[in-house]
Structure 1
Amino acid sequence: MTAVLDYTSAGPFTRIDGVDPLALESLSTDPVKICRVVPYLVVQPTDAQSLNLPADRFDENQIRPASVLLQRLLALDPAPVTSAREPDNRVVGTCRHFAVLSCAFLRYRGFAARVRCGFATYFQPGQGVDHWITEYWDDAGKRWIRIDSEILGQNVLPHAHDLQPGEFLSGGEAWLAYRRGEIDASQFGVYGTENWGPAEIRGNAVKDLAAMNKVETLPWDEWGRMTDAYDGKTGADYDLLLDDVAAVCAADDPVAVRALYEHDDLRVPDKLIRF
């Protein structure tokens, strides 16, 4: 880690200022155990449909900061975050919210952690499904360990606490694979929608660069030339920029990651951060 990007410290969306410290003090000091509490704090909108929640509860899906998510959670049930909630007492959120809470807790306990935006290959055979996960730095193994908190304890994967190569592709990794002709981009996208193809990979590559700069946007946030890219209005110059994004994220040099993020087409605008 360098002073340029300190992944042990919170970013704008992983700060948990204002959250009652008593609600956090029982968090483990083991990274996997920290993440194991998160599946009991968040419920996916599709799963919440059967809970007869008030309509405004689904607005929780639009919350960016972990601090606000936790305030909503504790308003529903003031028990410590390590206490499992019934589904109707969990905040409504996507895979991004599972990942952001995990990252916030890990950083709170002093671990270097970050959210990654990309595609999971373990939900649908032969497909890369839009997904967000968390990773933390393992000093002993000198590597980033990827963990999918949303499915911890489920039967989706026996090792969701340590994803294996190829099981999750970051946006940049998927882009490089697409450019090399190694994947069918039409099989990469958002499950349950018509949003599949190279444009989805482009979008996730940019969002992943932002997440590596500690700015974990909502999955549907768009900025820079992203909207034009989704609409098929960008060309070779933008794809070359994404080649740079993918290469820089793969090299994982914090100085280069930070420097490229300052590009006008890549930096998240203040209006999406100053909510």
Structure 2
Amino acid sequence: MAAVIDYVSPGPFTDLAGVDAAALEPVPADPLGICLPVHGLVIQPTDAQPLGLDAERFDENQIRPAGELLRRLLALDPAPVTTAREPGKRVVGTCRHFSLLSCAFLRHRGIAARVRCGFGTYFEQGRGLDHWITEYHDGTRWVRVDTEHLGNDLPATLSDLRPGEFLTGGEAWAAYRRGEIDAAKFGVPGTENWGPAEIQGNAVRDLAALNNVEMLPWDEWGRMTEAYDGKTGADYDVLLDEVARVCAEDEPAAVSALYKHQDLRVPEKLIS
């Protein structure tokens, strides 16, 4: 019987069909070996701006599928994906793009993997910053890896994040509802986007990612825009309580069932 949610086979955004097989051939078999080179394939927009790239290059940030990201990457430099690019030859993207590529490579090698959306607590003391990571299953448990920063000197175990170093959107929401965190300190650095609605948004995105639909960090659907505008109330908070509970319990049938809710499911037009 097929798994309720298949984390080994490619999903809508992690399918690498059509990508040059020779570029993928050197991808190793061990999970960390797979994840480590990804930090040399993507560059954040803020880091790319001083490079004088053509303006259209920044549209790469809007690409959802990993296959299209890699085709753009290989058009810039056809070297294998295990080869770090000079900054100007990397695709422009966010932490979501780093995480998506590592997830796609892990699945390419038959390793169960998934992307998680939430907040890193190791970037700034006392704050949770909007962030995406990758998880792979080692046969016993899910291991959380910060693919973007793997190998960098940060106050966290980036190859195996410890509890509390990264909070998924649901984990952060549950902690907020229990009074354990200040929601005003959770959000997107460099913006005014902080507070409970930011946590709610990442909880919904994380539920979608658990269903193999890894959206862009700024994609909105369901009642997310209303939440950001402060136009939702107690009923939506209760729905997010359910999202947090189901994602924490991580029972695939329940995760899949909840994702069918009209306020939570990503519209097909955003996927296709």
Q: In the alignment, does 2:227 pair up with 1:229?
A: yes
> Which of 179, 182, 189 is residue 181 of structure 1 equivalent to?
179
In the aligned structure 2, how far is the partner of 1:137 from the partner of 1:73? Answer: 27
In the aligned structure 2, how far is the partner of 1:157 from the partner of 1:73? Answer: 30
Pair 158,194 (structure 1): closer, same or farther in 2 beyond 3 Å: closer
* 3-state SS of paired residue (2:148): helix
In the aligned structure 1, how far is the partner of 2:259 from the partner of 2:147? Answer: 27
Other-structure match for 1:155: 153
How far apart are 1:159 and its partner, in Å?
Answer: 2.4
Runs of 5+ unmatched residues, structure 1:
none
How far apart are 1:2 and its partner, in Å?
Answer: 5.9
In the aligned structure 2, how far is the partner of 1:65 from the partner of 1:41? Answer: 15
Q: Is the 8 A contact 2:205 2:215 kept in 1?
A: yes
Other-structure match for 1:35: 35
Other-structure match for 1:58: 58
Q: Runs of at least 4 residues of structure 1 off by over 4 A?
A: none
Q: Percent identity?
A: 72
* 3-state SS of paired residue (2:70): helix
In the aligned structure 2, how far is the partner of 1:9 from the partner of 1:261? Answer: 19
In the aligned structure 2, how far is the partner of 1:271 from the partner of 1:18? Answer: 22
How far apart are 1:5 and its partner, in Å?
Answer: 0.3
Q: Is the 8 A contact 2:122 2:156 kept in 1?
A: no
Aligned positions, number = 272
Pair 149,28 (structure 1): closer, same or farther in 2 beyond 3 Å: same
Other-structure match for 1:210: 208
How far apart are 1:52 and its partner, in Å?
Answer: 0.7
* Equivalent position amino acid for 2:203 in 1: A
Alignment of 1:1-275 (within 5 A): 3-139=3-139, 142-157=140-155, 159-274=157-272
In the aligned structure 1, how far is the partner of 2:45 from the partner of 2:94? Answer: 7
Q: Is the 8 A contact 1:2 1:254 kept in 2?
A: no
How far apart are 1:158 and its partner, in Å?
Answer: 5.6
Give the root-mean-square deviation of aligned CA atoms: 1.0
User: Normalised by the size of structure 2, how large is the TM-score?
Assistant: 0.99
* 3-state SS of paired residue (1:177): helix
